[in-house]
Amino acid sequence: MRLRDLWPFRRPAPTAAPAPAVAPETIELRVGGVTWSAIQQHVEDTTRGEEGAFLFCGFARLGNTDRLLVREWRPIPASAIVKRSRHYGLEWTSAFSSEILAQAIRLNASVVLVHSHGRTDHPELSGPDMESARRLFPKFSRILGKPCGSIVIGGRSASGQFWKVGRRHVDLTQVRIVAAPITYWRPTPEAPSERAPKRRHDRMRLAIGPNAE
């Protein structure tokens, strides 16, 4: 034993710092309020059966988040639809898919398909929805070099699946609707917050107490 081992203020040996936590991958669809209202109105009109629209989006990568900014959108026209259901199921011609891809290449844009499942609070892609997405978006994402996918909306909520460079990416994190105020549609809708009491009511409570009738 050496004398320095007995010194009471000996500095402890350094330990390795823990590895920093890695933030999860997320994906956000960002859209203006007026544009979103028009898209919502179209896909929620099921008088002729299920409707759908393709969104053309700019792409930015910030940290671990892929952000898709809606620049243009295009409804699926009746002339391109080959199968339609009032519930779940919408199919269109391969020629129209080729038109969408060509337009995305011209715009240097990502492609997102959106449709509605009514006013449900927990919308999910159906089996036919996922089958259509698997046929289309791995190829689109590989050709365009950007995330592409399919989302379904409900009553102030939205969910979806995305592909990136031909492979399955992450599920939709949220739709950010840029209006006044900014709102978010997520797979599970947020519970409405209680409104704060008015200032006049606050002053009355302070003056006469909370139990006064």
pLDDT digits (tens, 9 = 90+) for 97-121: 999 999 999 999 999 999 999 989 9
Query: Is the pLDDT reported for residue 202 higher than 50?
Result: no
pLDDT category of residue 203 using cuts at 50, 70 and 90: very low
Q: Each residue of 174-204: b (16+ CB within 10 Å) or e?
A: bbbbbeeeeeebebebeeeeeeeeeeeeeee
pLDDT digits (tens, 9 = 90+) for 171-195: 999 999 999 999 999 998 776 554 4
pLDDT digits (tens, 9 = 90+) for 63-93: 999 999 999 999 999 999 987 655 556 899 9
Q: What is the chain's mean pLDDT, rounded?
A: 86
Query: Is the pLDDT reported for residue 212 higher than 60?
Result: no
How much is the pLDDT for 14?
A: 66
How much is the pLDDT for 73?
A: 98
pLDDT digits (tens, 9 = 90+) for 20-31: 677 899 999 999
Closest-CA residue to 170 (of 67, 58, 35): 67
Query: Is the pLDDT reported for residue 11 higher than 70?
Result: no
DSSP, residue by residue, 33-86: HHHHHHHHHHHT--BTB--EEEEEEEEEEETTEEEEEEEEEEEPPGGGEEEE-S
- CATH code linked to domain 23-191: 3.40.140
Q: Please tell me whether the overall predicted TM-score, pTM, comes out greater than 0.85 for this model.
A: no
How much is the pLDDT for 196?
A: 44
